[in-house]
Structure 1
Amino acid sequence: MTIFPGTARVEMVMGRPVSVDIRTALPARELNPLLDDAFAWLRWVEDTFSPVKEDSQIGRLNRGQTIRQIPELIEVLHRCDELSRATDGWFEARINGVTDPSGYIKGWALERLSRALSNAGAGDHRINAGGDIRVRGSAAPGKRWRIGIRDPRKDVIRKVVFANDLGVATSGSAPIRDPHTGEVVEGLGSVTVIGPDLGVADAHATAIYAMGPLLARRFAADLAESGPYQTMIITRDGQEVSTPGFAGYSGAEARMAG
């Protein structure tokens, strides 16, 4: 099989291994600085937005201290407010007076990084940070990226998604709280949302998981009807419910396309 040249790197960021896999044919003198910049950006995001780091801007905000007027910080907080309204409050970055954009920030950071890599000429890449994955371009000539979605109960691939340009966000591996009560929610196994913006997909996956089984299905159906975001829900007992557009990325047609 013909493969793309390129390079990949894995480093620990945000408490998890993050991989950046670039398949575009670029010389090493360009690829290595791109990877250096990629992980520098992710560490800056962690240092700025982590709610557990006392010297982060979010940490300072939660303690009522002065924060720097960083454009990205303003953008993220504003976007979190928009997503809260779009999900009827099921995605919420402020719970019990504490600001924590974790349900959005990882997807947002990877989405921004993906755009930066494309602008730098590395249009064929895959970024993976736990349940959040962003792909662009091709994995090999004429081949879409193959993205495995794991079963929340077993360490096996439950579904495979094929795409050239897609964000894939899965919620359920880490505790998610009901923003109305502050209690940890355990009604579903996992929620995967796919779409063009990984940050938005990440927030919607978090919100849908928090809703619980019945409301989650209705919201996912409405979300699919109104825009490009598709959802797959796996219940606690292993049942799978997907919106119709999800099959376009995981069915026989997608496999035949690469």
Structure 2
Amino acid sequence: MHRVEHVMGFPVSLRVDDVTDPSVPEGAADAVFAWLREVDERFSPYREDSEVSRLDRGELSADGPSDDLAEVLGLCEEYRIATGGAFDVRLPGRGLDPCAVVKGWSVQRAADLLTAAGLTRFCLNAGGDVVVSGGPWRVGVRHPFVADKVCAVLGLTDAAVATSARYERGDHILDGRTGLPAAGLDSLTVVAPDLTLADTVATAAFALGREGVEWAASQADCEVFAVVAGGGVLRTPGFPTAGARTAV
């Protein structure tokens, strides 16, 4: 089964290979995309009526944020402290924007729905951040300078991979310590057991700049591939490269 929908501002594709009863993956896919649409409605800082926007304006009840949003904000604070403020979802002059955590967190939740439905071999790709179950799967890491090429191919089984870079949205990741665009890296890819960890570490490390490579490598269960400014490559020994395609 293969399905693609546009949710949260980017394409989300789901491929399921272990299909015995077709109704099972179809029903699970319905649940996945319904959940992601709910996340967009509740947590988008670009929607005036979202929970995030209402919290930012001080309009929530005395009960405070929902358990889900409290979990997301807890992760945001954890990584703000861990990076000395480089990763910060509350930048001066800007509204609350937890998207850097929400994306990986919500897509991992979606993958968990597939697992709970009994599916054991699938690939969920949300705008280039990927969760795979079963395997091995081959996942390409986009070349940061050449749009139609990859700089590495990963061999993944029961894992997640996320990349932070400039090539899609320009200098959208800011260093919270300065308020300026993060500098020192062209792209940074993290492989981890789940996408919440991979995506948040990748974004936080990119915000740190060149020092973020060593920081990300020090995080438990994370393997790192980074293209530093100027084109050099740094990677951890355990980064699961299945084969290089294009030298950077």
> Does 2:77 correspond to 1:81?
yes
> Does 2:145 correspond to 1:153?
yes
- Match 2:224 to one of 231, 246, 255: 231
Whether the aligned pair in 1 keeps the contact of 2:43 and 2:50 (CA below 8 Å) is yes
Query: Which residue of 2 is the match for residue 255 of structure 1?
Result: none
Q: Does the C-alpha gap of structure 1 residues 69 and 220 become closer, same or farther in structure 2, counting only changes over 3 Å?
A: closer
Instruction: Give how far 1:217 is off.
Output: 3.2
Aligned counterparts of 1:35 and 1:78: Cα–Cα separation in 2: 28
State the Cα deviation string for residues 8-48 of structure 1 (Å, max 9, x = none): 10000111111011111232222222111110000111111
Whether the aligned pair in 1 keeps the contact of 2:83 and 2:208 (CA below 8 Å) is no
Aligned counterparts of 2:185 and 2:65: Cα–Cα separation in 1: 38
TM-score by length of 2: 0.89
Whether the aligned pair in 2 keeps the contact of 1:193 and 1:202 (CA below 8 Å) is yes
- Give the 5 Å matches for 1:138-217: 138=135, 144-155=136-147, 156-172=149-165, 173-174=168-169, 175-213=172-210, 215-217=211-213
Residue 244 of structure 1 aligns to a residue whose secondary structure is: coil
Query: Which residue of 1 is the match for residue 246 of structure 2?
Result: none
Whether the aligned pair in 2 keeps the contact of 1:10 and 1:17 (CA below 8 Å) is yes
Instruction: Give how far 1:238 is off.
Output: 2.1
Residue 15 of structure 2 aligns to a residue whose secondary structure is: strand
Query: Which residue of 1 is the match for residue 50 of structure 2?
Result: 56
Tell me which moved more, 231-240 or 49-58: 231-240
State the Cα deviation string for residues 52-100 of structure 1 (Å, max 9, x = none): 1101111111222116642211111112212222333222222226321
Query: Which residue of 1 is the match for residue 241 of structure 2?
Result: 250
For 1:154, the aligned partner's letter is V
For 1:28, the aligned partner's letter is P
Whether the aligned pair in 1 keeps the contact of 2:8 and 2:40 (CA below 8 Å) is yes
Tell me which moved more, 82-91 or 123-132: 82-91
Whether the aligned pair in 2 keeps the contact of 1:169 and 1:201 (CA below 8 Å) is yes
Whether the aligned pair in 2 keeps the contact of 1:91 and 1:204 (CA below 8 Å) is no
For 2:154, the aligned partner's letter is V
Whether the aligned pair in 2 keeps the contact of 1:103 and 1:203 (CA below 8 Å) is yes
Whether the aligned pair in 2 keeps the contact of 1:150 and 1:157 (CA below 8 Å) is yes
Aligned counterparts of 2:74 and 2:192: Cα–Cα separation in 1: 21
Instruction: Give how far 1:251 is off.
Output: 4.5
Whether the aligned pair in 2 keeps the contact of 1:34 and 1:117 (CA below 8 Å) is yes
Residue 24 of structure 1 aligns to a residue whose secondary structure is: coil
For 1:95, the aligned partner's letter is L
Aligned counterparts of 1:208 and 1:41: Cα–Cα separation in 2: 28
Whether the aligned pair in 2 keeps the contact of 1:16 and 1:129 (CA below 8 Å) is yes
Aligned counterparts of 1:89 and 1:244: Cα–Cα separation in 2: 28
Query: Which residue of 1 is the match for residue 87 of structure 2?
Result: 91
Aligned counterparts of 2:213 and 2:98: Cα–Cα separation in 1: 24
For 1:149, the aligned partner's letter is V
Whether the aligned pair in 2 keeps the contact of 1:220 and 1:243 (CA below 8 Å) is no
After superposing on structure 2, the runs of 4+ consecutive aligned residues of structure 1 that deviate more than 6 Å are: none
State the Cα deviation string for residues 99-128 of structure 1 (Å, max 9, x = none): 211111111111111111111111211111
Give % identity.
Answer: 38
Aligned counterparts of 1:193 and 1:221: Cα–Cα separation in 2: 9
Query: Which residue of 2 is the match for residue 131 of structure 1?
Result: 128
Aligned counterparts of 1:65 and 1:197: Cα–Cα separation in 2: 33
